[in-house]
């Protein structure tokens, strides 16, 4: 009972949620994960007291909070939304691509990213290639190309037509061979933070998500 | 701090941005880069460590460092640091079998025009053009990317064969978090995180503030010279033990208090109390991998007795004194000494030292010579010692 008193007073200083001692912006710079005692002992060896041989007097769980590597405000919010969860996003995309088309496991996978910022685009491409490699797929650094005339026409089309058309042209001009498959990661709308993906194989375009 | 950064970024996003605010934002970015660069180095060390444990190639293979990119929002200064560190660690670990080569054509932007059109790309993206430029075949390109993803810093690496199809032959992803301290590994002796932690715990467990040394030392006394020269005392072998204290685990300063005992049957016995203070001179903190050199100075108080201690007096020994000492009263002497010396410690476990000692009460004795004279101080005794620390 009396042990709860210091805990009650200490919590506002320790816990990262906004409150009297921590403003909202400050709290946003923490990411917190709820985990069991066993998981916490693996994540932070030595930091969490192990469960006693006869169990504990009370149930204990762990909330592990960590400060962001880069404070909010150092890059654009849209980029931050993509980059802060990049690994999970590309792993999901790679998994979805492989499970959707198991027949393409022996193909050579190429990756293209359509994102407004070249720097972020390169990051997404790099992460996607690594995620595909982690799925056990054969990946190439090659980039399929379009002729200047194709680009002029395709960039005037709406996305629903542009990507299938580009896919056909990649195949027709030979830059995407019969054993190649292109995974395109696309930001369709600058107002959204969801990444879409499509597959181009044998001149046929399929939206993954 | 963070609201301040946020307000600066919003100000930066506004158009036109104030120059002063932009400078402040850049300063804030440099500060963050300063904070994350150790974590980046740690990831690079881990990457090279893994490559050295499981090399991608079975023989040394030329590799072009084709791209190193830093987290979006941080500057190119960090990129230069990363490139230098990566090159340094790879050169120090040739067992990775990745031989870094210089290839300006590979990293330059090249333009190629043909009947199909004009393509602008980097050299590594157009292997056919590299071949035309005379770049030898069989090279690979290493790409490194580091990105801040929430609380984690993620390093991705891939190796691409510079052939027509540009196949990726190897890739790897590593991450560390803000709550993980950098291991600061020695590039020439990379360790896994588990090994580094075990070493760290060994240091903490085995090298506290108090160490119990056991020393064996031998003192020899300088032979007196000139007319009326007496007889120098015999060499003394002392066994000492006590405590050695240090205010910090860095062990830059240490002090020891020791008790000693000397015994040569039929010759002498002795007791000694000694205090010593030592200063590390080979760095700011003791090393885990290299010997440490300490300079020390101290005081001692000794009492010795037995036939072999008759020379611890100021006058020259006479035949009568020798006979009297042998048959009746055993000679006994109590004296103080001041010593200075140096000690080489190995892993703070074993130490080898030597010292010079002056005995102020025997400065005018005819039984003591001098090994050296440091100003008004005469070194009457020279000693060597071996210490084992527990």
More confident residue, B8 or B256: B256
pLDDT digits (tens, 9 = 90+) for A14-30: 566 666 666 777 777 78
B4: in domain: no
Domain boundary among B181, B200, B219: B200
Residue linked to tokens 């090159």: B87
User: B122 and B196, same structural domain?
Assistant: yes
User: B168 and B109, same structural domain?
Assistant: yes
CA A174 to chain centre: 31
pLDDT band at B167 (very low <50, low <70, confident <90, very high): very high
**Range ranked top by mean pLDDT from A22-26, B12-16, B135-139:** B135-139
pLDDT at B379: 93
Contacts for B171 with CB less than 8 Å, ≥ 6 apart: A129, A130, A133, A134, A139, B156, B157, B158, B159
What is the complex's ipTM, to 2 decimals?
0.83
More confident residue, B18 or B334: B334
Domain boundary among B200, B231, B266: B200
More confident residue, B302 or A63: B302
Which residues does chain A have within 8 Å of residue B152's beta carbon, measured at their own beta carbons? 69, 87
Task: Give the C-alpha separation, B78 to B252, whole Å.
Answer: 33
Residue B324: pLDDT above 90? Answer: no
Residue linked to tokens 């499981």: B54
Residue B122: pLDDT above 90? Answer: no
B84: in domain: yes
User: B341 and B226, same structural domain?
Assistant: yes
Rounded to the nearest integer, the mean pLDDT of chain A is: 85
Of the candidates B260, B250, B234, the one whose C-alpha atom is nearest the C-alpha of residue B339 is B260
Rounded to the nearest integer, the mean pLDDT of chain B is: 84
Q: Which residue of B has its CA nearest to A180?
A: B165
Residue B189: pLDDT above 80? Answer: no
How many C-beta neighbours within 10 Å does residue A187 have? 21
pLDDT at A5: 46
CATH number for position B87: 3.40.50.10610
Percentage of chain A modeled with pLDDT above 90: 43
pLDDT digits (tens, 9 = 90+) for B346-362: 878 899 999 999 999 98
Task: Give the C-alpha separation, B240 to B260, whole Å.
Answer: 4
pLDDT at A1: 42
pLDDT digits (tens, 9 = 90+) for A83-131: 999 999 999 999 999 998 888 888 999 999 999 999 999 999 999 999 9
User: B150 and B279, same structural domain?
Assistant: no
pLDDT at B317: 65
Candidate from A6-20, B145-159, B327-341 with smallest mean pLDDT: A6-20
User: B244 and B128, same structural domain?
Assistant: no
pLDDT at B214: 95
Instruction: Show which of residues 97-116 on chain B sit within 8 Å of chain A, judged by CB atoms.
Output: 116
At residue B220, the 3 state secondary structure works out as strand
More confident residue, B51 or A29: B51
Torsion of CA B47, B51, B52, B53, to 10 degrees: 100
pLDDT at A16: 65
User: B181 and B239, same structural domain?
Assistant: no
Q: How large is the C-alpha radius of gyration of chain B?
A: 34
Q: Are B82 and B65 in contact (CB under 8 A)?
A: no
Residue B249, CA distances (Å) to B191, B245, B253, B287, B290 in order: 22, 10, 10, 11, 16
For residue B168, give how far its alpha carbon lies from the nearest alpha carbon of chain A (Å): 5
Q: Are B222 and B371 in contact (CB under 8 A)?
A: yes
Q: Are B377 and B321 in contact (CB under 8 A)?
A: no
Residue B249: pLDDT above 90? Answer: no
Task: Give the C-alpha separation, A125 to A117, whole Å.
Answer: 12
- Candidates A69, A124, A131, A183: best to mutate against B (most CBs of B within 10 A) is A69
**Single pTM value for the model:** 0.64
Domain extent for B28 = 17-200
pLDDT band at A13 (very low <50, low <70, confident <90, very high): low
User: B138 and B233, same structural domain?
Assistant: no
Decide if B6 and A84 are in contact by the 8 Å CB cutoff.
no
B377: in domain: yes
More confident residue, A15 or B341: B341
pLDDT digits (tens, 9 = 90+) for B274-298: 999 999 998 888 887 788 999 999 9
pLDDT at B11: 47
User: B321 and B220, same structural domain?
Assistant: yes
Percent composition of chain A: helix, strand, coil (DSSP 3-state, to 5)? 40, 20, 40
B78: in domain: yes
Residue linked to tokens 């050295």: B52
The beta-carbon neighbor of B72 closest among A66, A123, A148 is A123
Number of CB pairs < 8 Å for A and B? 145
Domain boundary among B200, B231, B262: B200
Q: For B73-89, give one letter per residue: b (16+ CB within 10 A) or e.
A: bbeeebbebbeebbeeb
More confident residue, A140 or B116: A140
For residue B95, give how far its alpha carbon lies from the nearest alpha carbon of chain A (Å): 24
pLDDT band at A196 (very low <50, low <70, confident <90, very high): very high
User: B128 and B24, same structural domain?
Assistant: yes
Which residues does chain B have within 8 Å of residue A76's beta carbon, measured at their own beta carbons? 13
User: B296 and B222, same structural domain?
Assistant: yes
pLDDT at A184: 94
Decide if B2 and A141 are in contact by the 8 Å CB cutoff.
no
pLDDT at A3: 44
Residue B6: pLDDT above 50? Answer: no
B170: in domain: yes
pLDDT band at B123 (very low <50, low <70, confident <90, very high): confident
3-state SS of B328-357 is: CCCCEEEEEEEEEEEEEEECCCEEEEEEEE
More confident residue, B29 or A60: A60
Mean pLDDT of the B155-171 span:
93
User: B216 and B187, same structural domain?
Assistant: no
- Candidates A31, A64, A68, A73: best to mutate against B (most CBs of B within 10 A) is A73
User: B54 and B190, same structural domain?
Assistant: yes
Total of domains in chain B: 2
Mean pLDDT of the B246-269 span:
90
Query: Residue B66 has which token pair?
Result: 């084709």
pLDDT at A11: 54
CATH number for position B262: 2.40.160.20
Q: Which residue of B has its CA nearest to A146?
A: B117
B12: in domain: no
Torsion of CA B105, B106, B108, B111, to 10 degrees: 80
pLDDT band at B179 (very low <50, low <70, confident <90, very high): low
More confident residue, B56 or B26: B56
pLDDT digits (tens, 9 = 90+) for A166-182: 999 999 988 898 899 99
Percentage of chain B modeled with pLDDT above 90: 41
Residue A81, CA distances (Å) to B103, B153, B191, B298, B335 in order: 36, 15, 35, 64, 78
B41 touches chain A (CB under 8 A): no
Candidate from A42-46, A78-82, B61-65, B355-359 with smallest mean pLDDT: A42-46
Residue B321: pLDDT above 70? Answer: no
B126: in domain: yes
Between A118-134 and A86-100, two packed helices, what is the crossing angle to 10 degrees? 50
B7: in domain: no
Mean pLDDT of the B361-367 span:
87
Pairing of strands A138-139, A180-186: unpaired
């Amino acid at each position: 009972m009396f042990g709860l008193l210091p805990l009650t007073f200490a919590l506002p200083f320790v816990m990262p949620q906004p409150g009297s001692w921590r403003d909202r912006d400050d709290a946003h710079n923490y990411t917190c994960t709820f985990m069991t005692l066993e998981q916490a002992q693996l994540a932070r060896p030595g930091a969490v007291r192990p469960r006693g041989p006869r169990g504990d007097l009370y149930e204990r769980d762990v909330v592990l909070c960590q400060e962001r590597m880069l404070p909010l405000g150092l890059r654009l919010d849209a980029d931050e939304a993509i980059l802060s969860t990049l690994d999970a996003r590309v792993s999901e995309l790679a998994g979805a691509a492989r499970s959707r088309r198991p027949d393409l496991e022996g193909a050579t996978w190429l990756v293209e990213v359509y994102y407004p910022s070249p720097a972020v685009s390169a990051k997404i491409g790099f992460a996607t290639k690594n995620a595909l490699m982690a799925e056990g797929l054969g990946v190439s650094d090659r980039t399929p190309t379009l002729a200047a005339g194709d680009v002029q026409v395709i960039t005037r089309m709406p996305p629903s037509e542009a990507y299938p058309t580009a896919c056909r042209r990649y195949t027709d001009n030979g830059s995407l061979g019969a054993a190649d498959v292109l995974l395109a990661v696309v930001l369709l709308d600058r107002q959204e933070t969801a990444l879409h993906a499509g597959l181009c194989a044998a001149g046929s375009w399929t939206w993954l998500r | 701090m963070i609201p301040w950064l946020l307000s600066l970024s919003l100000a930066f996003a506004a158009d036109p941005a104030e120059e002063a605010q932009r400078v402040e934002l850049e300063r804030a970015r440099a500060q963050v880069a300063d904070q994350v660069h150790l974590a980046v180095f740690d990831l690079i060390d881990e990457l090279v460590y893994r490559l050295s444990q499981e090399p991608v190639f079975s023989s040394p293979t030329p590799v072009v460092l084709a791209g190193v990119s830093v987290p979006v929002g941080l500057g190119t200064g960090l990129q230069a640091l990363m490139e230098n560190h990566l090159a340094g660690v790879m050169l120090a670990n040739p067992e990775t079998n990745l031989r870094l080569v210089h290839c300006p054509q590979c990293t330059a932007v090249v333009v190629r025009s043909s009947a199909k059109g004009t393509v602008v790309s980097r050299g590594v993206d157009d292997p056919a053009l590299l071949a035309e430029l005379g770049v030898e075949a069989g090279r690979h390109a290493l790409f490194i990317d580091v990105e801040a993803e929430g609380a984690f810093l993620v390093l991705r690496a891939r190796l691409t064969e510079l052939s027509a199809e540009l196949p990726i032959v190897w890739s790897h992803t590593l991450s560390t978090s803000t709550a993980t301290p950098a291991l600061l590994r020695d590039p020439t002796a990379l360790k896994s995180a588990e090994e580094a932690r075990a070493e760290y715990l060994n240091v903490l467990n085995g090298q506290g503030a108090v160490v119990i040394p056991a020393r064996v030392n031998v003192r020899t006394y300088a032979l007196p010279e000139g007319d009326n020269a007496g007889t120098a005392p015999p060499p003394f072998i002392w066994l000492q033990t006590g405590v050695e204290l240090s205010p910090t685990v860095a062990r830059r300063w240490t002090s020891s208090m020791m008790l000693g005992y000397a015994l040569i049957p039929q010759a002498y016995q002795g007791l000694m109390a000694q205090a010593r203070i030592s200063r590390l001179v080979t760095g700011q903190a003791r090393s885990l991998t290299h010997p440490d050199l300490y300079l020390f100075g101290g005081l001692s108080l000794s009492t010795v007795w037995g036939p072999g201690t008759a020379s611890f007096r100021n006058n020259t020994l006479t035949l009568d004194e020798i006979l009297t000492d042998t048959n009746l009263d055993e000679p006994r002497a109590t004296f103080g000494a001041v010593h200075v010396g140096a000690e080489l410690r190995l892993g703070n476990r074993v130490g080898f030292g030597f010292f010079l000692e002056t005995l102020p009460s025997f400065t005018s004795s005819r039984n003591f010579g001098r090994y050296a004279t440091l100003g008004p101080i005469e070194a009457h005794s020279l000693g060597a010692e071996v210490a084992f620390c527990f």
